[in-house]
Amino acid sequence: MSRTVRILPEDRWNQELVANVHPPGWENPTPSGRYNLVVIGAGSGGLVAAMGAAGLGAKVALIERHLLGGDCLNYGCVPSKSLIRSARAIGELRRAKQLGVVVAEGSVRGDFAAVMERVRRVRAAISHHDSAERFQRAGVDVYLGTGRFVAPDMVEVDGQRLRFSRAVIATGTRPRRPEVPGLEEAGYLTNETVFSLTGLPSRLAVFGGGPIGCELAQAFQRLGAQVVLFHRHGRLLNREDSEAAELVQRALEREGVRLLLTAQPVRVEKTAEGKRIDYTLGARVGRIVVDEILVAVGRRPNVEELNLEAARVCYDLERGVHVNDFLQTTNRRVYAVGDVCMRERFTHAADVAARIVLQNALFPGPKRRLSRVLIPHAIYTDPELAQVGLTEDRAQEEGIPVDVYRVPLEDLDRAQTDGESEGVLKVVLKRGHRSNPRGDAGGPSRWGPDCRGHRSHLSRDRPGEAFAGRSSLSNAERDLSKGGGRLQPSASDAAAPAMARSLVPMDPLISS
Q: Is 258 exposed, middle or buried (0-12, 13-18, 19+ CB in 10 A)?
A: middle
Coil, strand or helix at 454:
coil
Give the whole-angstrom CA distance, residue 344 versus residue 323: 14
Q: Is 403 exposed, middle or buried (0-12, 13-18, 19+ CB in 10 A)?
A: middle
Coil, strand or helix at 356:
helix
Tell me the β-bridge partners of 292. 204
Give the whole-angstrom CA distance, residue 420 versus residue 454: 13
Which are the contacts of 391, defined by CB distance < 8 A and separation ≥ 6? 240, 241, 428, 443, 445
Residue 106 pLDDT = 79
Give the whole-angstrom CA distance, residue 49 versus residue 152: 20
Residue 3 pLDDT = 80
Containing 407, the helix (H) or strand (E) segment is strand 402-408
Give the whole-angstrom CA distance, residue 173 versus residue 171: 7
Closest CA to 467 of 450, 446, 481, 442: 446
Antiparallel, parallel or unpaired: β 173-175 and 299-301: antiparallel
Phi/psi of residue 173, each to 5°? -135, 175
Residue 503 pLDDT = 61
Angle at 145 between CA 313 and CA 362, to 5 degrees: 50
Containing 502, the helix (H) or strand (E) segment is helix 495-503
Q: What is the value of pTM for the model shown?
A: 0.89
Give the whole-angstrom CA distance, residue 479 versus residue 420: 29
The answer to whether residues 110 and 117 touch, using CB atoms and an 8 Å cutoff, is no
The answer to whether residues 168 and 38 touch, using CB atoms and an 8 Å cutoff, is yes
For 291-365, strand residue ranges (E) read 292-295, 299-301, 315-316, 320-321, 334-336
- Average pLDDT, consecutive stretches of 10 residues, N- to C-terminus, the chain (512 residues): 88 98 97 97 98 98 98 98 98 93 89 98 98 98 98 98 98 97 98 98 98 98 98 96 94 98 98 98 96 98 98 97 98 98 95 98 96 93 92 91 91 90 89 63 60 37 36 37 43 54 49 32
Residue 485 pLDDT = 42
Which are the contacts of 60, defined by CB distance < 8 A and separation ≥ 6? 35, 36, 37, 38, 39, 50, 53, 54, 139, 140, 141
Give the whole-angstrom CA distance, residue 441 versus residue 468: 15
Q: Is 273 exposed, middle or buried (0-12, 13-18, 19+ CB in 10 A)?
A: exposed
Domains of the chain: 12-74+122-174+300-363 (3.50.50.60), 186-297 (3.50.50.60), 377-503 (3.30.390.30)
